[in-house]
Amino acid sequence: MIKISSFLAKAFIVVILAFSLPGAAHAAKIDAEGAAHLKKVFEDIIAYQKSASELTKGNQVLFQGDVAVEPADKYYAVTLPHISISYADGSRLELGIISINAVPHDREGEWKMTTALPTPIIMFDKSGKPQLQCDIGSQLSVGIWNERVDYFTKLDARYQNVKIESTDGKIKAMLPEIEILYDLSEDEQGRWSGPIQTVIRGAAVDFPATGGAIAMKEAKMAVRMFSYIPQAVKDYKEKLMAMAEAGSDGKVSQQHVAGIYNMVTELLSSAGDGFTAQYEVTGLDVKHPAAKKDSGAQPDATAATPLETLHFDKLS
């Protein structure tokens, strides 16, 4: 049976990838020169993603095609290459083509960006057969990208009526509302702090073959960052790319593994004052087949399997 948690985890990686696109240098106007610069910036971030994938070997982020940037009347229209992720078990997640509109923001080095994820997103098994499909009913994602942070400092992303179904009909999920909010602020030392929150409301997962179901009123993950230092992460990325290039012969030595461990340890100790994370699920109902009781009588093969429901007001 396909595990929906595995698909959601892989899909989450794709969403993170979609939100990890770089900003561009501040431009006073929209022109061909700015478009060329933006294209180079996006090509650089793709090169970094490829280098990072080289170190994992088992999981590969694949890009087909070129970055396209066209200057419009008041913004740059960016189209990324077709993106897919190939996993060690032979399965493949086909994301597709992400579209981005970028506009110079008020502060130099900041850009207002809107991002549109493709739909559907499809998971294939190792034989190339579709396993799961994710359809996004509607979406609106607007954020402020900061070049020095190399990430969104403000983000308001909302997705509605996200439907996930397995091709064998054993899993059907509906996520009526997904909300992702960033609100980071910079202090006088150039460090960033603030909340990052993800909320899923009204989620429901059905398992038609067994009659089981999971429903929840709300699931929330709230993270607060403290004194994040952008330069530490940039240094980490540069070292990672250099290590990937050094191991481009396809062999990952023990020295490479130790080097990655040391870099991650250094990053965690130098990138800021840490973070807190809180998780909360409210109104959770889990319906599942009841445990069979041995009464000594011959079981009725035609009888429906009884179900029982577990209810949780709040989990955290």
Handedness of CA 155, 100, 175, 4 (dihedral sign): negative
Rounded to an integer, what distance in angstroms lies between the CA atom of residue 191 and that of residue 231?
A: 10
What percent of the chain lies above the pLDDT cut of 70? Answer: 75
Contact partners, residue 199, CB within 8 Å, separation at least 6: 177, 178, 179, 181, 218, 219, 220, 221
Which pLDDT score, from 0 to 100, does residue 266 have?
57
Between 270 and 78, residue with greater pLDDT: 78
Q: What is the mean pLDDT of residues 295-305?
A: 56
Nearest to 185 by CA among 234, 152, 139: 152
Task: Name the pLDDT band for 254 (thresholds 50, 70, 90).
Answer: low
Rounded to an integer, what distance in angstroms lies between the CA atom of residue 260 and that of residue 273?
A: 21
Cβ atoms 55, 260 nearer than 8 A: yes
Which pLDDT score, from 0 to 100, does residue 303 have?
53
Which pLDDT score, from 0 to 100, does residue 54 have?
73
Per residue in 30-62, pLDDT (tens digit) is 889 888 888 887 888 788 788 777 776 678 889
Does the structure show a pLDDT above 70 at 7?
no
Q: What is the mean pLDDT of residues 169-178?
A: 96
Task: Name the pLDDT band for 105 (thresholds 50, 70, 90).
Answer: confident
Contact partners, residue 7, CB within 8 Å, separation at least 6: 123, 131, 132, 134, 164
**Mean pLDDT, the chain, integer:** 81
Task: Name the pLDDT band for 23 (thresholds 50, 70, 90).
Answer: very low
Per residue in 193-234, pLDDT (tens digit) is 999 999 999 999 999 988 899 999 999 999 998 998 887 777
Q: What is the mean pLDDT of residues 69-85?
A: 93
Whether the model pTM is above 0.85: no
Q: What is the mean pLDDT of residues 153-167?
A: 96
User: Where are the domains positioned within the chain?
Assistant: 230-271
